[in-house]
Amino acid sequence: MRWQEGRRSQNVEDRRGRGMRRPVAVGGGGLLLIVLVMALCGRDPTELLQVLNQAQDPTMVDTGSPQFPEAQGGRGMPPAGGDPQADFVSVVLANTEDTWGRIFSALANEAYRPPTLVLFTDMVESACGFSSAAVGPFYCPADEKLYIDLGFYRELRDRFGAPGDFAQAYVIAHEVGHHVQQILGISDQVRELQERDRRQANALSVRLELQADCFAGIWSHHAAAQEGLIEAGDLEEGLRAAAAIGDDRLQRISGEYVSPESFTHGSSEQRVTWLRQGMRHGSLESCDTFRQ
């Protein structure tokens, strides 16, 4: 991708390097016993209460800063200059904003509201709770934010064998696809169906994820039409990345038996098929994974 001249998004929060404490809970009886022991030993129990209040405050960070405003719904800091990876994801996010903004402008009853992309290290708190980098990039519908530890791109290249900047762009476009589903009300409909029929929960999850792949393909279709952005081999990088993170391949890498009934994102073949479908047609109508 020739992305260097692209517009940078303003919807990026940088929370990297901010270690977080998980909330610490102490039962009422245990706390009372500790307070009594401290009082008998001549210690001021209010010291302990102050420490516990800080430890239980999920806005505390290990750097000593008393507040973590972005965890409370506020905005974090934008990425500092001179960071090529942060610069890259900012350009990709901006391009998805432009693409989906144009697509939604043609819809009668919907307007596109861009999501925020949060960069983090190791662990992050979202409106969906605490998450480790081990879960990979994710979208939280409760705060309409995408979350990614950029170390995932190293794993995508080294462990899964899917290098390249367009492979990295596909990851962001997939999570943006979940945001599009949220705006269109698709995610809520799927959650209602899953609650109604637990036996179909995994199958519905797969269809939702495959649609996000197809939506990523829609973005790819429009990106390919932009002069000077896409280079030879870029689209193939995206398809290889989709194949690399299919449920069947991930299960094999982990030494597990391939178990289709436990799939949550779809097989490599399914993910490639739907990403290519979006790339080829570039329309919302082509991405109805729930009917096919």
User: pLDDT for 20-53, tens place per residue?
Assistant: 544 444 444 444 444 444 444 445 544 444 444 4
Give 61's DSSP letter: B
Query: Is residue 174 predicted with pLDDT exceeding 70?
Result: yes
Q: Which of left, alpha, beta for 16 (phi over 0: left; psi -120 to 50: alpha)? A: beta
- Interval 113-140 mean pLDDT: 95
Using alpha carbons, select from 220, 221, 144, 129 the residue that is nearest to residue 178. Answer: 144
Res 183 pLDDT > 90: yes
Rounded mean pLDDT, 48-73:
38
pTM score, whole prediction: 0.79
Give the residue-averaged pLDDT of 185-207. 91
Q: What is the pLDDT of residues 270-285, one digit of tens each?
A: 999 999 999 999 999 9
Which range is least confidently modeled, 106-115, 120-129, 257-266? 257-266
Q: Do 87 and 47 meet the contact criterion of CB atoms below 8 Å apart?
A: no
